[in-house]
Structures are given as C-alpha cells and as structure tokens.
Chain A
Amino acid sequence: MSVPFADVHPAPAAGDAEQARFDAMQLRARWRRRLMPAIGITGLIALWWAVVAGFEVRPFIAPSPWAVAQTLFAKRDVLLANLLPTAGEALGGFLIGNLAAIAVATLFVHSRRLQEIFFPVVVMFNSIPVVAKAPILVLMMGNGVEPKIAIAALVCFFPTLVNSVRGLEAVNPQAMELMRVLSASRSEIFFKLRLFCALPYLFSALRIAASMAVIGAVVGEWIGATQGIGAMIIQATYNFDSALLYAAIIMSACLSGCFFMAIVLLERAIIRWHPESA
C-alpha cells in the first residue's frame, strides 16, 4: 500500500554544495550565540575595573574585580560552608512552595468557588513585600532554618500558582469536548489532558521560582541568622568588607544560575513535544 503523504526528501546531488554552505552558516550562528554573551560579560568586568581604577574608588566602597577574585579563592571554604545552608533552604522552599502551588492550582481548577474565594487572598498576600514578610515569619518560627524555608516557599508559591492555573485551563476546547464524548472522568481529564497542557506553563514558572527561592532564602538570612550567604552579606556590609560582600553576592548568583539550569535541563528532558502544534 502506498502512503499518499509520506515525506520523501531525496537529497539532490547538485544541492550538496549549497547544503554545505548552509550548514557552515548554521555552525557560525551557533558560535555567535555563545560568543556574544561572553563578550558582554567580559566587557562589563572590564568597565568595572576601569571605573574602580580610573576614579580611584576606595576599596570599602567598591572593590576591584581582582580583589573579589582573590577573596573568592582565599575564603572559598567559608563561602562554601555558608552557601550550603542557603542552598538547602532555597531547595526546601522551592520544593514546598511549588508543590503547594500545584496542589492549590489543582483545587482552583476543579472548584471555581474556591478560586473565587481564595485567589484575592493569595494576591493580597503576594502584594506584601518579601522583606516585610520575613520578620513576621522569624517572629513566628524562631531563628532556625524554618523561617528561611518558609520565605523561600512563599516567594515561589505565587508565580507557580498563577501559571499552573493558567496552564491547567489552557486546554484546547475541542480536546475537552473529545474527552466529554469519551465520557472521561475528571481525574482522567486531569491526568491525560490538563496536566500535559499545563507543563510548559509550569516550567516557565519554575524557572522564575528557581531564582526567587534563592532570593527568599537570602532575605530570610538577613534577620538574625549567623550562617548562610544572607548572613555573610549583612556581616560583610557592617565590616565594610566590600570584597567579601561581592564574593558572597557572586556565590548567591551562581546558586541561582545552577537552579535555573537544572530546571531548564529538566524541562528539556520532560517536554519533548511541540506545544500548540496540533
């Protein structure tokens, strides 16, 4: 039996040279995409250096990049020792906050009334700045690791909730009608349709949440903590140790970056289809 629309692309021999030229262009474009950001970052560091050296900025106001690099190396043990608790809090908050958000989004999608009652409350809570929520939670939960995790969870919660609700509701209406014609149950509609539709939305929220969780943990450590990157930032500021301050900031930025990359890799592993193509 012949297949009427089978995709057949015989490679024409005459087009080989053009194909090779096209491939070479693609390769160059790929290198450009990697090179350009590197140029940007290098340029920024060079500018920083030039400003600090040219205007003779005193070290306790802003250190030179070289001083920061030296501190990063010399104090790597202390920095890493303080990075670990922050990473743990951020990760814990990330997991708790996002799981809670997905659970609440699932409830909201299945009960319009719950959504109507509680969504405004969630929006209200979200409008309180993190730095204002942090002391309240420290008062309630003490000076341990719990308030930091709670703060990280809170800042993750909102973006993931909003995106999950949107994603779970972003179902092709005809796919929904199909499920009704098939007499699908609510849980079948959820697990076979809504969840998959929500995944791209969920991952864009998780990417935001990945860096938000680190911010939450650091802000949590600003209040009375003795260890963690946040505590280091506060101590270094009070000691006018600007090199250590910058080193701590770079450590927290790296942590956010790692979280972000982990989410991107996870997304690539899970979402292997083209959303909105059918």
Chain B
Amino acid sequence: MAVGGYTSAILCAKLGWPFWAALPCGALAAGLAGLIFGLPSLKIKGFYLIMATIAAQFIIIWFIIQLRSVTGGTDGLLVPKPTIGGLSLSSKMNYYYLVLVFAVLATITAHNIVRTRSGRAFIAIRDNDLAAEVMGVSLWRYKLQAFFIGCIYAGAAGSLLIHYVRFASIEQFPFWDSVWYLGMLIVGGMGSTAGAIFGVIALKLLDELVTVAGPILAAAVAPQAAASLALISHGLIIIVFLIFEPRGLYHRWETIRAYFRLWPFSHEAAE
C-alpha cells in the first residue's frame, strides 16, 4: 500500500501527472515491489514466509524515510486534489463513489481470476503445493503471479487512500494495519472474495463501536482503558474466530444460506 500510495503521490505532486494516470502506475509499482518481496516465497512458506513479508514493511518504510528529496521523508508529501476529466473528487461523497466503483471492479476481477487457469493453479498450490507441482503447476510462476496480483490490489488501495487524505506520510502505513488486514481475512474467511468483504465489514464495524465505547469507558473507568480498547477488542475477536470459527464469517453465512435454502425441510433433506 505504501509503495502504491507514494508512487502515485510522487507522480502527481512532483511530476504533475493527473490522478487517473498516477493511480494505475502506483498499483503497478506495488505489483513490482511484490515480485521482489515474493521471491523468498519460492523457498519458504507458512510462518517463515510471514516473517519474510513482515520485513518488507520495515524495509519499505526505511527507504521512504531515506529518500527524503523524493518522498518528503518524515515530513511527508502534499498531494494535489484528485480530479478526473475536470470533475473534482475532493468531496467525501464523490470520493466514496469512486472507491465504490474500484471496489466493485476489484471484486468482479478477483471473482473471475479464480475461474482462470491461474486461479485454479493458485487453489491447487494453496491446498497442496507438492501435489500441484507433481501435476505440472509451476510453483515459481504462480507464486510470483499471486504476489504480483495481490500487491496490485494493495497498491491501488494505497493510492486511493493517499489521494483521499491528500497527504502521503509513513504514519498512514503502520505495522499494525498489516496485522489487522490479516485479521480481516481470519474473521471474514480465507480463500474467498466474499470472506474478505465480510472481514472488512466486521472489523470496521468493531472499529466504530470502539470509537463510541472508548470515550464512555474512559469517563467511567480510566483513560488508559480506552487507550488499549481497540487493540484488545481486535485481538480478542481474532482469537475468538481462530478458536470457534476458523473458517470465518463467510462459512457461517454459507451455513445459514444452506439452512434457508432447504427450509422448512432441512432436516429431512440433510438425511
């Protein structure tokens, strides 16, 4: 996200590129960065891969700080108002519709990727990489492809975030956000497009709840209680899902749907 956000910010702020041209470039730059950091995935997997990609977070932020003349370092970078064809997107509502369009397009694309040759290869590698390789699936090619596509999504999101805030700063890409994005997948359900959407909605609603409950808790108990409420509640919900519903909200949704599809004879039908 930081690579995508900063790339489009630099293109707009330093080179005067229009928003619509800078955004895909930001996504592409993030995809390329993903290729680099995806290289270890060929040799390692699971926990070790997570550790390797976490390192990317710190390396990228370090580079942003060091390249002060380009990125503004810790001072950040002011980004001009986004416009498309003379239409200013500075109002919240305009920007909401733009992001909505992107979200719909991204969802449709992700949904369709699963049906392609690459998508089937991704599923095969996820389920059992050894078996997939034996079947002739190139791990090298498809793992890197997965990193590239995933990072393009992240880059576009980072670019949209930066143009909304109209300011690029390392503060907008804290390590904890990376953890919560992973938490969204755990809560929503991994391995499905709908699961990601469920996860985002669940954790964002929790976020809003914390915003309401935090000040009340601060007044009633102590300000320190509010300080950690977001961390505790997010961590707690992830633990609860890992223990009681590791397949996430999407699986729960599918179960409910199946029940009503067969209702009122679900018991007989199941038999």
Report whether chain A binds chain B: no
